Structure 1
Amino acid sequence: MSGFGLSFDRDWWRSFVVGGLVATAINGGALVVALGADWATFGGVMRGSGDLPFLPAMGIVFGYIAFAAAWEEFVLRGVMVKNLAEGSTGYVPKWVAVGLAVALSTLVFAFLHGGKVTHLSQYGYYLIAGLVLSGVYVLTGELALSIGFHVFYNFTQSAIFGLGHSQKTPELLAIDITGPSRWIGEEGLVFVCFAVLGGLLLVAYIHRRDGTLELNDRVINYTGR
């Protein structure tokens, strides 16, 4: 499993936490913009848990969001990107092989989220998200940043900051979305801009940690036992 980016050592968990913090920060920024532009109103705290107490309900929600996001990252980034890149390196240069793998996995990622899309232009949000998640994977050879970012992006957007649309969860902050869908909808420009910002912050962290930005050889080399 470590060959696909799941080493689970101390450095892995540190990067996982960084990914989660970046995701939480950009969703917090999106909330500030939405409230400041009068595209959302504050309706209270700790709502929507139904018949369950709030904290157990949040724990259940975090569990299934974490599982789904981690599974997506393992399949679409760890398995798909690695195998496509590894299988192509005998025919094209390394950077072309990785580029093709990232492009194909990103297209699949966007297609799988197509059920939420009402306009073709909204696919851009998922294409950007796919590029961010794939990009940090091919730069590190690990899924820690991708999984941390994906898990906490989904969880904090809906369950913490109340900005979810299709994903209905208990909300720590109950927020009513009133603004135009072009800006604050699920694939709105606010989330697009903050997703790009999140990607830049992750890349900056990688550069600071590693001192460079280059394709990690673990993405294209088979690593057996």
Structure 2
Amino acid sequence: MTDPTLPPPAEPATANRRQPGIIRRVVDFPLVLIVLGLVAIILAVMLVGMIVNGLLATSHPLGVLIANCAVAAAIPFVWRDFKRWVERVPHRDFSRSGAAMELGGGLMLGAGLFALAAGLVILVGDYQISGIRAPADTQWAELLGMAIMSGVLEETLFRALIFHQLERLAGSWFALAVTSLLFGLAHLTNDGATLSAAAALVVEAGVLLGAAYMLTGRLWLAIGIHTAWNFTQGWVFSIPVSGGEPPIGLFISRSTGPDWLSGGAFGLEASLVALGVSTVAGLTLLRLAVRRGRIVPFGWLPGSAQTKL
């Protein structure tokens, strides 16, 4: 028999916890957050680009560099607010903890991997260097700005947004497979792109950059690899970056071999040599991610359980 002098037993904490409404549950669904995130980032990039273009002479190389850096600098702030106000979860994507080491390591790794691939092609005689330009005579500003902006923007979209939400939906391996495929398909509209070039990007870039994000839970390593790879390819070796006209870089060079070795008009990243070098690096990072317990198992993790440690 209950003692009437004692206070009634406390109800479980979960009983008083307010359950999210239907709108909140819809917004929290990973595929909805992907759409909202894409809209937020693209609109922010367009707005910052319009403001910078109105203030600067972006036809000048330094103007191009400043404009691209301004867009890249705005993305972390937009992403922070999106996570805070829309997704309503903490995040570590642009955390300052470990940023210098991870970004620096990524820059060295990206430059080293591309230099290794280019060096192997030089050894077999497919890529020939006939001279070196003065840095002032190169497109260093345009190429640096493009590398920084594409590194920050694409890694935020493909890794922090799409990879993370697909990982919530169906686990790390599903997220890695889908984002790698999307990354390759996204470059099919580039000049000189072919199905084989897109397939090469799926494996070499999609897996490598996805593994870098899985390993650290932050974007700095992936951004460093992405930025340094593009800049080394375009500025140092004067090789088209994912298609287009050959840039005016440091080396005066030309390719004489078959497309499977040189990458053809798309650039060296579409070659079997770059594919092999990047795949080895990507699998190495994946192995480290597995050892550190960074793999999220299959299954949707709703609510706060989605936060990556």
- TM-score, structure 1 length as denominator? 0.78
Contact 1:163 1:177 in 2 (8 A): no
* Equivalent AA in structure 1 for residue 133 of structure 2: M
Q: Judging changes above 3 Å, is the alpha-carbon distance between structure 1 residues 8 and 174 closer, same or farther for their aligned structure 2 residues?
A: farther
Question: 200, 204, 215: which is aligned to 2:294?
Answer: 215
Structure 1 residues not aligned, in runs of 5+: 89-95
Once residues 199 and 117 of structure 2 are traced to their aligned partners in structure 1, the CA distance between those partners, rounded to angstroms, is 18
Map 1:34-49 to 2 at 5 A: 34-46=121-133
Q: Deviations over 1:40-84 (max 9, x none)?
A: 11121127x8xxx337x4133202221112100001100111122
Q: Report the alpha carbon displacement of residue 118 of structure 1 after superposing the two structures with TM.
A: 5.3
Which residue identity is paired with 1:24? A
Is residue 2:222 matched to residue 1:135?
Answer: no
% identity of equivalent residues: 22
How far the C-alpha of 1:111 sits from its partner, in A, is 0.9
Q: TM-score, normalised by structure 2?
A: 0.59
The DSSP-based 3-state class of the residue aligned with 2:254 is strand
Distance of 1:192 and 1:18 partners within structure 2: 21
RMSD between superposed Cα atoms in Å: 2.6
Q: Which runs of 4+ in 1 moved over 4 A?
A: 116-119, 200-204, 220-223
Q: State the alpha-carbon separation in 1 of the partners of residues 248 and 193 from structure 2.
A: 25
Pair 1:82 & 2:164 matched: yes
Q: How much does 1:200 deviate? A: 4.4
Greater RCO, CA 8 A, separation 6+ = 1
**1:102 maps onto 2:180 in alignment:** no
Contact 2:239–2:247 (Cα < 8 Å) also in 1: no
Work out whether residues 5 and 78 of structure 1, in 8 Å CA contact, stay in contact via their aligned partners in 2: yes
Superposed, 1:1-225 pairs within 5 Å as 1=80, 3=91, 5-9=93-97, 11-46=98-133, 53-54=136-137, 57-86=139-168, 88=169, 96-116=170-190, 119-128=194-203, 129-164=205-240, 166-167=243-244, 168-185=246-263, 186=267, 187-200=270-283, 202=285, 212-215=291-294, 221-222=305-306
**Aligned equivalent of 1:93:** none
- Cα distance in 2 for partners of 1:174, 1:203 equals 36
User: Which is higher, the Rg of structure 1 or of structure 2?
Assistant: 2
Structure 2: where are the runs of 5+ without partners? Answer: 1-79, 81-89
SS at match of 2:171: helix
Describe the SS at the equivalent of 1:84: helix
Partner SS, residue 155 of structure 2: helix
